[in-house]
Structures are given as structure tokens and as C-alpha cells.
Amino acid sequence: MLFDHESAWADEQIYNKIYENSIKFPNEFWTHHIKDISWQKEPDSAFDEISEKWLSGGISNVCYNCVDRHALKNPNKPAIIWYGDEENDRREISFSKLLDIVTKIASILKSRGIKKGDVVGIYMPMVPEAIAAMLACARIGAIHLVIFAGFSAEALAYRLSSANAKVLLTINAFKRGGKEVNLSKNFDLLKSDIKIINLENLENYKVELTNEINWQNSEDDLFILYTSGSSGNPKKIVHSALPYMLYVTTTFKIIFGIKEDDVYFCTSDIGWITGHSYITYAPLFYGLTTVIFSGSPTYPTADRYWKIIEQEKVSIFYTAPTAIRSLQMFNKKFVKDHDLSLLRILGSVGEPINKSAWKWYFETVGNKKCPIMDTWWQTETGGIVIAPLRSLHQKPAVAGRPFFGIKTNIIYSELIIENKWPGICKTSKSHEVFKTGDGAIYDGNDIKISGRMDDVINISGHRLGTAEFECAINKINEVKESAVVAVPDEIKGQTAFAFVVLNDNKNSIPDIIKKIIKSTRNIIGPIAKADFVAFVPDLPKTRSGKIVRHLLRDVANNRKNLSEIHSVANPKAIEFAKIAASQAIFCPDMCRL
């Protein structure tokens, strides 16, 4: 029997049956789905339960599956439709054109001596060449390392050197929200001798073209991506080529119930995992048109998304709660003036979606006709792990059910995964369980995610470590030490609240605040900004000198019952923190001074 991917995630009884089987017989479930992949050599098994290996013996290539096979079958179908900052900035790249661009970039990389297993940095905005660059790496077996174009020179340099990247693919500048974003000033600051390949005028590059594909096996790596964890340094995540491809494409097909003529628009960025899994690899693998946008949703007017959906006849739209909340503030007319009737499915990712945003998304954007796929997952999981069943009777803001083959559990309020799945990153230790760091509760048979339990802040869907903020703040001469915690924000979901202890100094508070803002901007990037700063004489610490951040989080959030008071060796610091928090300085006001 053919697997009916449209009803598998839409009908509760069918879901339950497939789910139970997929947990008991994972090899059987995944064997169904490896058929979507074009193999050079088929694997011996989808999942070998004894060795816990995925796709062992299989040989294929991710780029071949996403580009070549569609360029052969449907050469003129648009693979990528790009919109830029101005409304008439539009480019359409067919599958055959995409193959040309990918081949050209792959040939340039080869001519520069890049071989299988070499790491290639990509520091580019959302332009078709950025996606082609990722695919070109996959084609020759190089490992791509995308660095979000909003990161600073220092963040770029750290990632390139710690991953030992051999070259950097980039362009000089791009426009967003009517302003020019200059990337070249950042890569010019790099103190390393890394070779820079500027893809701005690709047509002018003279290079001998080579069509060669480097076939990948199940052990080969596809990419490295840095994310934030609880330490001061970004966390390196590595994903394998073939098992990762199997996972993202299967989740995409089943959860969104894709159809051949779907036009798909995801507003994320290749700098994040969503831009890898669900802008680049999953839609192109199935030969769908992926719409990308490098502008700002509110420039020149707050209807850019809705206009693009109307013009391109988008049927699946995938965005983040922070974007929904910021667009919800505008008059409904911005949405209602556009014909969005071809939308079939709406997706949300990156942070918990609140009820009011959910309702607005469902009613105003989806016209009560589109299920909201609130998808929970992480850089580490490769693809979607939890999503609600596709129905118009969903519970608002409840993530839903685990994907087939994934055994979730909630232990001490934390969501964990108890078995192996093909999308798990290679860098995760092969412990028995995979800890997510997210709090969760059951709501009937559904899982509801409450948010991070560790020292990670989610600002506008951007995952940032409090320790990264602290490192940047502590670099300022006047600062002795600091502790950064998350507080809620109406639009961004969360924002950073910094408790700062100063050395004896004579500098004025506005000057110190400006230095704090500048330092986080230079070391991490403009997305990392502490909105609140509270100056304290001391921080609450344990007897062994560890800052008690949970307690500071309670104080910053104005909670009555403080946790972990018993572990504090200097209780006076709690009182200081309370007073300072009530008088915290709101930095955006400060910037206007």
C-alpha cells in the first residue's frame, strides 16, 4: 500500500496507528520514505537497530535530489522566486537556471582547491545565490557553514576560525528596510587570511565548468551551524547529509501534507536552521517553488508578505510568532486588501505562539480556512519534532503530537526524546535520552511547550545565550561582572535584562549604557540588545561563587515567590537586585537621549 501522506497527519485515528507502528518498527516506517530519494546505491536498511545506524550503505547526493533531478524533469518550473527590498525587485530562477548557478559556484570552489570535507563559510543575505551556494557545497561534498548576515565581524570571525573554514562566500552589500547593509566592512575586518569569494557578479567569473557530483554516503556531513547554548561560546552543531535529508523531507511532506503544485513561502533566513531545512532542502527536494524575501515585512508598507502571497499564489506560508505579533499591530486592511484565498496551510516556528497572535493568524490571515501548524523543533533536531494534526479544530497555542518515529516524554517538566531519529545532529552525545532544555506539559494527548528552562533567551525567534551577552558586557572596563536573564516582551517574545555590577568609576550611566549596547552589537550583532539594565552592588551567588540566575530571573520578572533563595550565600544581594530591578533603565529610551 502506498503511504497516504495527506491523511497521516490529518486524521487522529490514522495518526495513532502509524505512530504506534513507527515507534515499534522504525525501520519499516523509514523504509517507506527512503523511496522519495534518488539513490546511486540504495541503503542496506533505513535504520539498523543494532548498530543504530541510518541509511547504512546508501549512496546519494543532496544537491542531485534538490536540483538535478528536477532540472531534468521540469527545467522551466520556478525553483526560487526572490523578492528584494523594493516591491519590483523580483527574480525567478527555474530549476535549470538554478542548476547553472550551482554548477558555476561548485566549479569556482573546485578551482580554488575546495575538496570533499572542507568547510566553506557563507555570509550572505536571502538571495538565490546564497541558496545556490549551499547546494554547490553539497554537490562537491564540502561542508557549508552559514553565518547569519546580521552577525557582527567578531561573531563571523569566531565561527569561521573555530570551524576551520577554508573560504568565505559572500556579497558586498544588500538593502533591507530602505537601508544599505554593508557586509564587506565586516569581512574586511577579519584578521585571518581566509580566501574571500565574492558572488556579487557571478556572470563575470571566468572558470572552467565541471559537472561532477561528489556522491555522499550516510556518514558524510552536510553542514555546520552555530547556535546558542548555556556557555559563552556559540555551540557547534553538525548535520549529516543523507539521514538529515531523509528527516527534513519526510516531516515536510507529511506535516504540511504537500501537493505537487504547492507554492511555498517561508520567511526565515538561511542564517538559521529553518532556512536550511525548510527554505532550502525540503521544498526543493520535492521540486516545489520556494519563495524567498530579503526585505523587511513593513517596508515600504506593512503588507509585503500579503502582497507576495497574493502575487505568487502561495499555498503554504511559514513564519515566526514575532513577525505575526508585529504585523498584528497594523490595520487589518493591510491583509484584507489582498486575495489570500489560495492559502491552504499556515505555519509557525521559533518560539511559543501566544493565543492572541494565533487567533489573528487563524482568523485574519487564514480566514478560518487554514490549520496553523505550530511546529516545535531545534537546530539540534534537524527538522520538526512536534506539530498539531492538520485540522481546523486545533487548540490555539498548543504544539501537538510527536512526529512518527519520535518517542517524546516529559521528565521533571522538561521535554526529552527517548529514542533515535534520522535528523538528530551528529554532535549530540549518544546518551540514552536527548534533553531539549524546553519546558513542556501535557494538554490531553497534546504537548504544550512553555519555553526554555536553561540560560537561553529567544529574542524574536533568535536563539541567544545569556552567557554570550555577559561575555560582551563584561568586556567593558567599567563593568566588574554581569548576569543576563530573559523577560517577556510583547512583540519580540522575550528580551534581555542585564544586572550589572560596576567597578569604581567616574563615567556617567548614559555613557556606560551606550558602551553596553555597542559592545553587544560588536561582539554578537544588532539582534543582541539588552533592553533593560539594572545596576547592582553585588550579584546573588552560591557558596561556591556561582551566580544564581534563576533567582534573578524571578526578580526581573517581578515574581513574588523567589526560587533558590536557600542557595544564596549573600542574601543582601537579593534585596539590592529587587530595588535595582524596580528602577531598571529602559535602554531604547536611553538611545534616544
Taking CB under 6 A as the criterion, the residue among 249, 274, 280, 482 binding ligand WTA is 274
Q: Which stretch binds ligand WTA (CB under 6 A): 300-308, 345-353, 531-539, 544-552?
A: 345-353
Comparing CB distances to ligand WTA, the nearer of 30 and 376 is: 376
Distance (Å, rounded) from C-alpha 277 to C-alpha 384?
Answer: 9
Q: Which stretch binds ligand WTA (CB under 6 A): 90-98, 252-260, 433-441, 554-562?
A: 433-441
Residue whose C-beta lies closest to ligand WTA: 379
Comparing CB distances to ligand WTA, the nearer of 243 and 461 is: 461
Q: Which stretch binds ligand WTA (CB under 6 A): 91-99, 257-265, 369-377, 480-488?
A: 369-377
Coil, strand or helix: which one is 560? coil
The candidate with the shortest Cα–Cα distance to 406, out of 427, 378, 372, 370, is: 378
Pattern 219-258, ligand WTA, x by CB under 6 A: --------x-------------------------------
User: Does residue 399 bind ligand WTA (CB under 6 A)?
Assistant: yes
> What is the DSSP track for 273-302?
HHHIIIIIIHHHHTT-EEEEE-S-TTSSST
Q: How far apart are the first and last CA of the chain?
A: 68
Taking CB under 6 A as the criterion, the residue among 83, 272, 285, 576 binding ligand WTA is 272
User: Does residue 110 bind ligand WTA (CB under 6 A)?
Assistant: no
Comparing CB distances to ligand WTA, the nearer of 464 and 530 is: 464
- To ligand WTA, the closest distance from the beta carbon of 281 in angstroms equals 14
Tell how many helices (H) and how many strands (E) occur in the chain.
20, 31
Taking CB under 6 A as the criterion, the residue among 58, 84, 297, 352 binding ligand WTA is 352
Distance (Å, rounded) from C-alpha 177 to C-alpha 296?
Answer: 5
CB 312 within 8 A of CB 340: no
Q: How far is CA 344 from the centre of its chain?
A: 23
Q: What sign for the dihedral angle of Cα 574, 579, 582, 584?
A: negative
Distance (Å, rounded) from C-alpha 168 to C-alpha 417?
Answer: 36
- To ligand WTA, the closest distance from the beta carbon of 98 in angstroms equals 25
Site for ligand WTA in 459-478 (CB under 6 A): 463
Number of CB atoms found within 10 A of residue 291's CB: 25
CB 77 within 8 A of CB 94: yes
Bond into 588 cis (ω within 30):
no
Distance (Å, rounded) from C-alpha 262 to C-alpha 266?
Answer: 13
Taking CB under 6 A as the criterion, the residue among 152, 290, 328, 379 binding ligand WTA is 379
User: Does residue 375 bind ligand WTA (CB under 6 A)?
Assistant: yes
Distance (Å, rounded) from C-alpha 499 to C-alpha 568?
Answer: 16
Comparing CB distances to ligand WTA, the nearer of 245 and 587 is: 245
Taking CB under 6 A as the criterion, the residue among 9, 377, 421, 497 binding ligand WTA is 377
Coil, strand or helix: which one is 586? strand
Comparing CB distances to ligand WTA, the nearer of 289 and 436 is: 436
- To ligand WTA, the closest distance from the beta carbon of 413 in angstroms equals 14
Comparing CB distances to ligand WTA, the nearer of 128 and 439 is: 439
Number of CB atoms found within 10 A of residue 198's CB: 15
Coil, strand or helix: which one is 102? helix
Number of CB atoms found within 10 A of residue 415's CB: 26
User: Does residue 107 bind ligand WTA (CB under 6 A)?
Assistant: no
Site for ligand WTA in 439-458 (CB under 6 A): 449, 451-452, 458
Taking CA atoms, 222 is separated from 119, 212, 240, 245, 425, in Å, by 10, 17, 5, 9, 11
User: Does residue 160 bind ligand WTA (CB under 6 A)?
Assistant: no
Comparing CB distances to ligand WTA, the nearer of 137 and 415 is: 415
Comparing CB distances to ligand WTA, the nearer of 101 and 527 is: 527
CB 40 within 8 A of CB 61: yes
Taking CB under 6 A as the criterion, the residue among 269, 351, 470, 554 binding ligand WTA is 351
Number of residues lying near ligand WTA (CB under 6 A) = 23
Taking CB under 6 A as the criterion, the residue among 85, 220, 438, 470 binding ligand WTA is 438
Cell numbers linked to 76? 522551466
**Residues within the interface to ligand WTA (CB under 6 A):** 227, 272-274, 349-352, 374-379, 399, 436-438, 449, 451-452, 458, 463
